[in-house]
Chain A
Amino acid sequence: MNEFLLLPFFLIIIAGSLYAGLARDPYVKIIAISITGGAIMPLIIMRGYLDVASALAVIIPLSTVFLLQLFKKGVV
């Protein structure tokens, strides 16, 4: 695998993680976590774990929806 294909995803993961840590708005935080989760997917794919990637593609949006229910109740 061409290792230079991985470098932009490393940068996106670092940028998304820092943005999630520094943001004040909870919606912005969850958007930044979505960016991080999206940039992780090609790294898992390039390793060959296709079943793990398929499971994560379902689990990450579901966890986001559970967090959004907390937003609606005003807990966060």
Chain B
Amino acid sequence: MSGDLFGLIPWTIESPFSSSYVVSPSGDVEIIVWICIAIAVYSAFRVIVEPDVMRKLPFLNVFSFSISGIIALLIPQPLGIIAAVAYFVGSTFESNAIASTWAGGVED
């Protein structure tokens, strides 16, 4: 998609985020994507402002879930669903690994 990058640049450039494989979400899907973006921004904000490490981790998990939803909604293709599932599993594994290590880990 060609654009002037929010009006900041006077000349018209080709956007780097343009691909023939990606269709722009429209209608109800765009509303759902914006809801997921709002959840992602709020959970990232809560992760930053929470003082306790253990209270950050549920919000990190929520952030990962919202990103997985955005990935699945943006690409209506089987490979996009595979990427969303891979990120869902990987990020949940990551959050649980951080929580387990912080809590002391498995006793030998």
Interface residues of A (CB under 8 A from B): 1-3, 5-6, 8-9, 11-12, 15-16, 19, 25, 27-28, 30-32, 34-35, 38-39, 41-43, 45-48, 50-51, 53-54, 57-58, 60-61, 64-65, 68, 71-72
Contact = CB atoms under 8 A, between A and B. Distances in A.
A58 B98 CA distance: 16
B41 interface: yes
Given A45-B83, A57-B86, A68-B101, A31 B56 contact: yes
B41 A11 contact: yes
A11 B21 CA distance: 25
Interface residues of B, number: 52
Given A46-B19, A65-B97, A2 B24 contact: yes
Interface of B: 1, 3, 5-6, 15-22, 24-25, 30, 33-34, 37, 40-41, 44, 47-48, 53, 56-57, 60, 63-64, 67, 70-71, 74-75, 77, 79-80, 82-83, 86-87, 89-91, 93-95, 97-98, 101-102, 105
Contacts of B95: 34
A34 B74 contact: no
Nearest to A30: B98
